[in-house]
Amino acid sequence: MSSKRHDDVSRRGFLKAAAAGTAAGGLGVISPGNVQAADVATPTMPAPAAAQLAREAGNVSPGIPARSAVRPGSDLMVEVLRQLGLEFVASNPGSSFEGLQESLVNYGSPPNVQPEFITALHEESAVDMANGYAKATGQPMCALLHGTIGLQHAAMAIYQAYYAGTPLLIIAGRDDGFIQAHTANDMAAMVRSFTKWDAQPKTLAEALEAIHQAWREAITPPTAPTLVILDIELQKEEAGTLAVPAYRPPRISGIESSTAADIAARLLNARNPRLHVGRLRTTEGVDLAVRLAELTGASLATAATRGPMSFPQTHPLSGPGVDTDYDFELGLETDAAGVAIIGPQIADLTAARDTAEVGFGGLRNAPTAPASGMRFAVDAQASLPALIAAVEQRRTPAQAKTIATRTAAHAQANRQARIASVRTALEDKRHGWHDSPVSTARIYAELWPLLMDEDWCLASPSPFSGAHHAALWEHNRPYSYLGGQGAGGMGYGLGACTGAALAARGRQRFVVNIQTDGDFNYAPGALWTAVHHQLPMLTIMHNNRAWHQELMFLEYMAGVRGRGTDRGHIGTTLRDPYIDYAKLAAGYGMASEGPLSDPEQLLPAFKRGIASVKRGQPYLIDVITQPR
């Protein structure tokens, strides 16, 4: 067991000032200037000791103490994470989890592999990385946070992931004997209203079980972030002969066999059935949805252009079909149908988790009934095996022949509809094709021929850049497009794309990030993480030099008040000076070019960028763009 430490100095505090204050007998945070002693309240906390300052400033040698633990508890924690198949732990380092971090990077053969420690420059970015990774794979990633301050830094990103229903494992270190401002009796309370489950185990055995339970809760619908608080003493404790517990996967409920039989009969007996597929939990769910569609010959509506884990957009059955008079409709994770199989939703957790009665908008009035028809409140992915089995058992040779004929007709009609849609979109997006600044439509259009034969993932939210991929690109993989932020907050894009690139690195694909400039400036340090860990991420700046939505809002408000729009740029634009994102990227060690304002320069720049990321070297192209 390590000895307790006492220190009230922030690890990111004013070290030099504090040192000067110690020498003078005071705190040294307030500059004397003309301030009189009577004007300043006497500090109640003692000046930091020299040894404490030395530790915080890094001016201390640990020496060679006796080994504190032969089998430290944090080694067992790492064994549990490996047992779960966890690939990565993203973290900005902190002293409250130094035992666990040491085990992550040194324990095992080989060490620092599954999970690999990923260095983030901000806790919010660490959680955003976990969010992007989980959206791309359907499996949780871990973010490791330092005490109260790390948890507060990360809170925005946790909030976004909660709204998005993304499964994350969050671990926060707690050290009640060191810097008091960095600890609390119940740290999880700060984010309890927007996490699904949390625990603060008191023993090492409880800690190992808590990590298992956090994982189970995260991946069980409604999927969401979960949190485990790990005391520093549990990390350093001698484990002795304590065994790592066996992992028990969760039981996720699907429809009952009688319900599966009824729905299967309706699909098989329908003249023109239709499926609506929303966001399923994992890639396995997508494969099962494809199997069901092909067994029944149902035409299909997909959410693939709005987010991950949905039905392939250009599958022959995906589209309106040969006939839009549907006589039976089934929704999978969407109630936009007469019959819907849709599991519990994030809003369903509000009563149990929002104990402070914050009343977050979007979660206050959870729907209690479907928009129409029947709703089965069970997980769609877990329901599909029983439904497929029921269809296979009941499908007659005559029905199989009818389904084959219907499938062929749907395929031809959907192909024609897709061609017509793309032609219309191309004609519409030619407007401003040769303009400078560059049109956002041209960025997407020039990219598609370079991507269409590659394994790519568009990980950045697209509404602010026009979402032109929805009409121009083909979204046929579960991770083709990862969707928006969840709660619509800024600062998400770069971190989430970095997390998606972590997923891409070992899977022979690469990430495309069409990055808005306002969002970029919240947490640009994710660029360094991408370079340091050699992540295949192509970042193309949508550099319109403004928070353009807010600019439009402000100009509108000034206009309706009769004050003119000539001062609407104040507080809404990024000018005087303009920001050079290529130089920022170079400063973080990333290959980059720009700013480009000539649209004829796009194609060769994109080719250079794609070639770079396919070599595992991230690349940034700064493009001066039209507002939207």
Query: Which region among 31-35, 168-172, 317-321, 324-328 has the lowest average model confidence (pLDDT)?
Result: 31-35
- Looking at domain 73-236, does it have CATH number 3.40.50.970? yes
Average pLDDT rounded to a whole number, residues 356-368: 79
Q: Which amino acid is residue 624, in one-letter code? A: I
Measured distance CA(326)–CA(266) in Å, rounded: 12
C-beta separation of 140 from 151 below 8 A: no
Q: Residue 56 — pLDDT band, cuts 50, 70, 90? A: low
The answer to whether 512 and 564 have CB atoms below 8 angstroms apart is no
38 has a pLDDT exceeding 50: no
- Produce one character per residue of 78-102: b if its CB has 16 or more CB atoms within 10 Å, e if not: bbbbbbbebbbbbbbebbbbbbbbb
Range of weakest confidence among 130-139, 224-233, 366-375, 601-610: 366-375
Q: What is the DSSP string of 259-284?
A: HHHHHHHHHHH-SSEEEEE---SSHH
Query: Is 60 exceeded by the pLDDT of residue 185?
Result: yes
Range 69-79 average pLDDT: 96
Superfamily of domain 430-624: Thiamin diphosphate (ThDP)-binding fold, Pyr/PP domains (3.40.50.970)
Q: Which residues contact 441 (CB under 8 A, 6 or more apart)?
A: 429, 431, 432, 433, 466, 468
**Of all residues in the chain, what percent carry a pLDDT higher than 90?**
82
Contacts of 88 (CB under 8 A, 6+ apart): 115, 116, 118, 129, 133, 141, 142, 502
Averaged pLDDT score across all residues of the chain:
90
Q: Which amino acid is at 623?
A: V
The neighbour count for residue 336, using CB atoms within 10 Å, is 15
Question: Which of the residue ranges 181-195, 273-287, 348-362, 591-605 would you say has the lowest mean pLDDT?
Answer: 348-362
Q: Specify whether the CB–CB gap between 496 and 129 falls below 8 A.
A: yes
Higher pLDDT, 45 or 423: 423
Peptide bond into 115 cis (omega under 30): yes
pLDDT at residue 549, as a whole number: 86
Q: Using an 8 Å Cβ cutoff, are 11 and 182 in contact?
A: yes
Please tell me the predicted confidence (pLDDT) of residue 52.
56
Query: How far separated are the first and last CA of the chain, in Å rounded?
Result: 58
- pLDDT above 70: residue 22: no
Q: Tokens at residue 312, please?
A: 């392939």
- 94-114 average pLDDT score: 96
In this structure, which topology does domain 257-420 adopt according to CATH?
A: Rossmann fold (3.40.50)
Evaluate whether 482 touches 428 at the Cβ level (below 8 Å): no
Task: Compute how many other C-beta atoms are within 10 angstroms of the C-beta atom of residue 272.
Answer: 18
Average pLDDT over residues 114-130: 98
- Structure tokens that stand for 398 in this block: 């005559």
pLDDT at 551 over 50: yes
Count the Cβ atoms, other than its own, within 10 Å of residue 57: 13
Indicate if the pLDDT at residue 604 is higher than 70.
yes
More confidently predicted of 149 and 8: 149
Per the CB < 8 A criterion, the answer to whether 607 and 581 are in contact is no
Q: What is the mean pLDDT of residues 458-479?
A: 97
Beta partners for residue 318, in sequence order:
300
Domain locations in the chain?
1-66, 73-236, 257-420, 430-624
CA distance linking residue 361 with residue 556, whole number of Å = 25
Confidence label for 416 from pLDDT (cuts 50, 70 and 90): very high
pLDDT value, residue 373: 78
User: What pLDDT is attached to residue 370?
Assistant: 53
Question: Given a cut of 60, is residue 69 above it in pLDDT?
Answer: yes
Asked whether residue 46 carries a pLDDT value surpassing 50, the answer given is yes
Which of 477, 524, 486 is CA-nearest to residue 504?
Answer: 477
Q: Where is 623: in which H helix or E strand? A: strand 619-624
- State the pLDDT at residue 614: 97
Residue 182's identity, in one-letter code, is H
DSSP string, 89-100: EEE---GGGHHH
CB contact burial 369-402 (16+ within 10 A = b; e otherwise): ebeeeebbebbbbbbbebbbebbeeebeeebeee
